[in-house]
Amino acid sequence: MPLIRALIFLAALIGSPAYADRAALSSALCAGSVVEQVTALRALAEAGAAGGADEATWALAVVDAVEARSLRCTPTGAFIGEGPDALDAATLAPAPAPVDAVAMPINNRLRAAAASAAAALTLFSDADPTARAKAAAALERRREALSLPILDAALAQETDAAVLAVLQPLRARMMLADPDPDNRIRAIEAIAAEATLRNRTLIEEALTDEPEPSVQAAGAAAIAQIDRQVAIGQGLSTLYSGLSYASVLLLAALGLAIIFGLMGVINLAQGEFIMIGAYAAWFVQNAIRAVMPGLIDWYLIVALPVSFLAAALVGVVMEALVLRRLYDRPLMTLLATWAVSLLLINLVRVTIGTQNLEFHQPFYVVGGIPVVGDFIVTLNRLFAIAIAALAFVGVVLVLRFTTFGLNMRAVAQNRAMAGAAGIDARRTDRMAIALGSGLAGLAGVALAPLYNVNPNMGTGFIVDSFMVVVLGGVGSLAGAVLASFGIGQINVIMEPLYGAVAAKVVVLLLVIAFIQRRPEGLFAPKGRR
């Protein structure tokens, strides 16, 4: 063996420097022990990292050959492939392999090291950023052939943010095992910059057999910092999910409050109007998929007016057939609207089925923006919040600046006087029902990307939205907003602590206690009762 090495060395001296290196590097793979072979693979990866794209491409070809079990060893050098079609491993030029060439033996450990080396080399040889990102992810799992020089070279030449986002923490993790304590401290600080529970465990594990007190102190500080950020993140994400729940509640409750404020009718079918809105969105999705598959991503936007109109239509039909006859008997409207909700649930159940509908998730409701700790501003919730905010602004504008809004306020304050002033109160009622039902339809669209859509989905919302109406007072938009945010937040804050039931119990008790003092709600219109 020493003789062969000497010969190779000699050959390297004679040939051109690059090829000579390549010959040495590839022949080293034919060394006897697995340890030596792994070292050879790492050397190949390092050479590729240091030598630029060309060198990396060559090294990758050799490593691939190792992985594919096509590397053949001879005393004079390595070949890729067998017999006359073989290539010289050092030059990749066609060179018939000698008959005495033996296949390089490969085991699991070597295969892992080869995969690792291939991933590392891809970072330098592949122009496609997604391929590099994939390689970086593979490298994160398989670090057999990875070394600091490789990572530093990769970080120095990498331009893609996604790949950098994998490589930078990877480097910090490698530094955790660095012999120099200062480097370890720097690594801990770099890891703690991203406050996730995973990084916390990472630091904890590194500290278990850490002899240096200064590193221990830095680690403890880093863990405390992560804990703080995680706590802030958890608090924020609780508030955030409360906000998104509140916006759906607000949409449902706004509609309820408008109808109740105007006509004294409580619409027990409001939850089912949410369901109709969600089903309309589903139909829009299917229609777009059938007619213009290219625009499928925009179906949620198209669904906004469609769902509004679908729910509004059902509301108007309900008004025309049933509610119109019940205006002087508000308690009976409870039974009537309940019957409508039962009818709607069962109609949908029979015609479409009870299963949860499947919704395509367009890019603008997928994923989220990480903010702090584990808190991610998820886009599907942001979508719901945006719809609620837009709808609320729309309702305010309609009430303040349109004739219809003026008529509605007039009828709500004094129906007879409004009639005497020439306002068609019945027509106003109809339009208010359409508006109130349509808002529930919008809630259905908001829920489609983040909730199970099935015939029973509305029943869970009805109690909470009534609590909003009771607490917020009737005919007061500010009250509805405040109450839905209060109830939404109480729900999500209580849930992780004491369970969903406790949250509902607390909300209910609060509401009951509250109406002791103010039976007409938070922002009751002033006047005699």
Partner 1 sequence: MMGGGMLFRIVAFALAVLTLALPILGGPLAGSGIGISPYLANIIGQIATFALLAIALDLIWGFAGVLSLGHGLFFALGGYLIAMHMLKDGYVNAGVVPDLMTFMGWTDLPGYWAFFESFPYAAALILILPGLLAFAYGWMSFRSRVSGVYFAIITQALTYVAMLLMFRNDTGFGGNNGMTGFVSLLGLQMGAPQTAVWLATASTAATLVAFLLCGRLVRSPYGRMLIAVRDDEARLRFLGYDPVWPKLAAWTLSGVIAAIAGALYVPQVGIINPRLLSPEVSIEIAVWVALGGRGTLSGAVIGAVVISALKFWLTGFAPDLWPFILSLLVLLVVVGLPNGLTDLRLPFWRRARDDR
Piece in contact with partner 1 (CB under 8 A), picked from 188-196, 408-416, 477-485, 496-504: 496-504
**35 near partner 1, rule: CB under 8 A:** no
Piece in contact with partner 1 (CB under 8 A), picked from 51-59, 91-99, 124-132, 325-333: 325-333
**320 near partner 1, rule: CB under 8 A:** no
* Pick 335 or 369: Cβ nearer partner 1: 335
Cα separation of 284 and 267, whole Å? Answer: 26
User: Site size for partner 1, by CB under 8 A?
Assistant: 40
x-or-dash string of contact with partner 1, 411-450, rule CB under 8 A: ----------------------------------------
Shortest distance in whole angstroms from residue 240 CB to partner 1: 24
Shortest distance in whole angstroms from residue 344 CB to partner 1: 9
Find out whether 280 and 311 touch, Cβ atoms under 8 Å: yes
Query: What's the token pair of residue 226?
Result: 């992560």
Query: What's the token pair of residue 453?
Result: 């859509």
**266 near partner 1, rule: CB under 8 A:** yes
Query: What's the token pair of residue 379?
Result: 């886009």
Residue 407 CB coordination number (10 Å): 20
**321 near partner 1, rule: CB under 8 A:** yes
Pick one of 59, 110, 246, 345: the residue that binds partner 1 (CB under 8 A): 345
Pick one of 103, 335, 369, 417: the residue that binds partner 1 (CB under 8 A): 335
Query: What's the token pair of residue 113?
Result: 């090291």
Pick one of 326, 434, 453, 482: the residue that binds partner 1 (CB under 8 A): 326
Shortest distance in whole angstroms from residue 247 CB to partner 1: 21
Shortest distance in whole angstroms from residue 356 CB to partner 1: 20
Cα separation of 521 and 524, whole Å? Answer: 5
Residue 408 CB coordination number (10 Å): 25
The vertex-327 CA angle with 322 and 330, nearest 5°, equals 95
* Pick 69 or 329: Cβ nearer partner 1: 329
Q: Which residues touch 447 (CB under 8 Å, ≥6 apart)?
A: 248, 274, 278, 384, 453, 457
Q: Which residues touch 401 (CB under 8 Å, ≥6 apart)?
A: none
**334 near partner 1, rule: CB under 8 A:** yes
Whose tokens are 């955790």? That residue is: 176
Shortest distance in whole angstroms from residue 501 CB to partner 1: 4
Site for partner 1 in 245-264 (CB under 8 A): 260, 264
* Pick 165 or 339: Cβ nearer partner 1: 339
Cα separation of 417 and 174, whole Å? Answer: 79
Pick one of 124, 273, 282, 466: the residue that binds partner 1 (CB under 8 A): 466
Pick one of 105, 367, 394, 519: the residue that binds partner 1 (CB under 8 A): 519
- DSSP structure string for 444-459: HHHHTTTS--STTTTH
Pick one of 289, 329, 400, 426: the residue that binds partner 1 (CB under 8 A): 329
Cα separation of 496 and 507, whole Å? Answer: 15
**317 near partner 1, rule: CB under 8 A:** no
Find out whether 500 and 300 touch, Cβ atoms under 8 Å: no
Cα separation of 67 and 81, whole Å? Answer: 12
Find out whether 275 and 440 touch, Cβ atoms under 8 Å: no
Distances in whole angstroms, Cα of residue 363 to Cα of each of 366, 383, 417, 440, 518: 5, 11, 52, 24, 46
DSSP-based helix, strand, coil % in the chain, nearest 5: 75, 5, 20
Nearest by Cα to 65 from 97, 108, 32, 106: 106
* Pick 162 or 515: Cβ nearer partner 1: 515
Query: What's the token pair of residue 358?
Result: 């499947």
* Pick 206 or 345: Cβ nearer partner 1: 345
Piece in contact with partner 1 (CB under 8 A), picked from 154-162, 188-196, 241-249, 503-511: 503-511
Pick one of 162, 332, 377, 493: the residue that binds partner 1 (CB under 8 A): 332
Pick one of 338, 371, 398, 404: the residue that binds partner 1 (CB under 8 A): 338
Pick one of 12, 446, 511, 522: the residue that binds partner 1 (CB under 8 A): 511
Shortest distance in whole angstroms from residue 504 CB to partner 1: 5
Shortest distance in whole angstroms from residue 502 CB to partner 1: 9
Shortest distance in whole angstroms from residue 477 CB to partner 1: 19
Q: What are phi and psi of 247, to 5 degrees?
A: -70, -35
Shortest distance in whole angstroms from residue 510 CB to partner 1: 12
Q: How many CA atoms lie within 13 A of 211 on its CB side?
A: 5
Binding site for partner 1 (CB under 8 A): 260, 264, 266, 321-322, 325-326, 329-332, 334-336, 338-340, 342-343, 345-346, 350, 459, 463, 466-467, 470, 499-501, 504-505, 508, 511-512, 515-517, 519, 529
